[in-house]
Amino acid sequence: MKRILFIEDEKAIQKTMGEFLKKKGYNVISAFDGETGLKMVKVKKPDLVLLDLVLPKLHGFDLLEKIKADPETEKIPVIILTNLEGTEEVTKALELGATTYLVKSSYRLQDVLSKIKQVLK
Amino acid sequence: MQEVVSQLNIVKYCRGYGLSIWQCPQFLFLVMGLIIILTSIGSYLIGSSYITDPSLVALIVIIITGVLFIISYIITRSFERLAEASRMKSEFINIVSHQLRSPITNIKWIADFLTSEDVEIADNKKDEYYTHLKENISRMVELIDDLLIVSKIEEGSFPLKKTKSSLNDLVYEVIERSKAFAEVCNIKIVFNPKESLPSAFFDPNLIKLVVENLIDNAIRYTKKGGRVEIETECRKNRLYFSIKDNGVGIPKQDQKYIFGKFFRAENAMRNQTKGSGLGLYIAKSIIIKSGGRIWFDSEANKGTTFHFLIPTK
């Protein structure tokens, strides 16, 4: 079973997306802030990270940079799942090594699932 | 033709910018043009009569240059203000779109999940999702209410409805309503009214909004297990209110902006990503409108105390 780490501070989104992915056969683990997220990436070594950008304690960009700077975690694919949609943010995320960038409000749960499947193929 | 006439309506343009006539670039350009024409005619008339005294002409030129210099300075300042207003507007759109998008996404995804045909959800589990739906709808309503208040503040259409009211009763009422939130955050709220305050004349709905914002901030930016202390007292002809927390505090470099619209301190954003940066702006506008004063003492990582004074009549 593939393990997905979902780093997101919105409880409702965590619960809904987490439950949805669990029902689709994934092992979902959650972190509600950037610092905890970073610790979990290192300890749990997930197959995929779903990462929000506006996070308490450690911003998503800093977290992404740290994941990609560590040889033990650099290969883990990271999908940015945020409500920020500026071109600057998208460019920066991709430059830092994000696999793809999704604006939450533009996607349905099913669409996010399809992207996850694509990345984990 | 009508368009050309409407372009000459400088007052309409200035109102559109939200600037007074003496800060409006179009009007100032017109004034500068008139001064140039009048002084040219004046210089010609004076020059033709008193050409024997060149120092007089030189003096006039210096005075005109000085006046034009001052007007140019005012025009530059006006453009700076317009640029600042435009920057604030973009920032406003960014913040509002992000703040509104979060609850909208929550609602959209929950609805998506609850209506998924290939996902079975037990009835007792559904209640949790309905609660999340309600919370997110309230979040949107609160943000929209705040934006409407800000818009009224800026238009100046913010009537004060003073009635005989009790500040202590109002504080007790807000604390009662905040209890559930404080409990979730494991924050203790202590209210110490130093004396029984006399009833006073103020707008209870607006002052309630201030107290709500201050209590909400104190809970939100205090770590679990923290303490919030509220005091009220009568000081001469004024009612005094203070709220002290042992929370994240306001860093020195952010303190001068804290009552600004949409401003959120850097450490506040790090600890609490939700928030529009409108609460303290609204609080200050209400207190000033009520004829009072609001201020704070704060130290980063130690806590903050907000105080306000409002007249009793």
Helices A60-69 and A34-44 cross at an angle (nearest 10°) of: 20
C-alpha–C-alpha distance, residues A81 and A79, integer Å: 6
At residue A46 the predicted structure's pLDDT band, cuts being 50, 70 and 90, is very high
Give the list of residues 6+ apart from residue B52 with CB closer than 8 angstroms, or none.
Answer: none
Q: Residue B134's pLDDT is what?
A: 92
> B194 or B128: whose pLDDT is higher?
B128
* Residue B267 touches partner A, C-beta closer than 8 Å: no
List of domains in chain A: 3-120 (3.40.50.2300)
Locus of tokens 């990345």: A119
Q: Which of A63-72, A81-90, B33-42 has the lowest mean pLDDT?
A: B33-42
Least confident of A1-5, B252-256, B262-266, B307-311: B262-266
* pLDDT top residue among B134 and B121: B134
| A56 contacts in chain B (CB < 8 Å) | 270-273
- Angstrom CA distances, A55 to A58, A116, B105, B252, B271, stand at 6, 21, 16, 23, 8
Does residue A40 carry a pLDDT above 90?
Answer: yes
CB–CB of A12 and B101 under 8 A? no
Average pLDDT for B198-221: 91
Task: Identify from A9, A10, A51 which residue to disrupt to test chain B contact, counting B C-beta atoms within 10 A and taking the largest count.
Answer: A10
B265 pLDDT exceeds 90?
A: no
* B132 to A11: CB separation less than 8 angstroms, yes or no: yes
- pLDDT of residue B6 exceeding 70, the answer is no
- Asked whether the predicted pLDDT for residue A28 surpasses 90, the reply is yes
User: Contacts of residue B136 in chain A, CB cutoff 8 Å?
Assistant: 12
When pLDDT is cut at 50, 70 and 90, the band that residue B87 belongs to is: confident
The whole-angstrom separation of Cα B25 and Cα B10 is 10
Q: Residue A29's pLDDT is what?
A: 96
Mutate to test the interface with A, among B94, B107, B112 (most CBs of A within 10 A): B112
Distance CA B182, CA A85 (A): 33
pLDDT given for residue B271 in this prediction: 66
- The pTM of this model reads 0.68
pLDDT of residue B84: 76
Q: What is the average per-residue pLDDT within A59-87?
A: 93
The mean-pLDDT minimum among A80-89, B86-95, B230-239 falls in: B86-95
Between B257 and B294, the more confident residue is B294
Residue listed under structure tokens 């005075």: B63
**pLDDT tens across A90-116, in order?**
999 999 999 999 999 889 999 999 999
Rounded mean pLDDT of B186-196? 85
Lowest-pLDDT range of B124-138, B142-156, B291-305? B142-156
DSSP structure class, residue A25? T
Measured between CB atoms, does B145 come within 8 Å of chain A?
no
Residue B18: what pLDDT? 65
Q: What is the mean pLDDT of residues A9-24?
A: 91
Chain A residues near residue B137 by CB distance under 8 angstroms: none
Residue B272's pLDDT is 66
ipTM of the shown complex: 0.88
**pLDDT at position A6, please?**
97
For residue B55, is pLDDT > 80? no
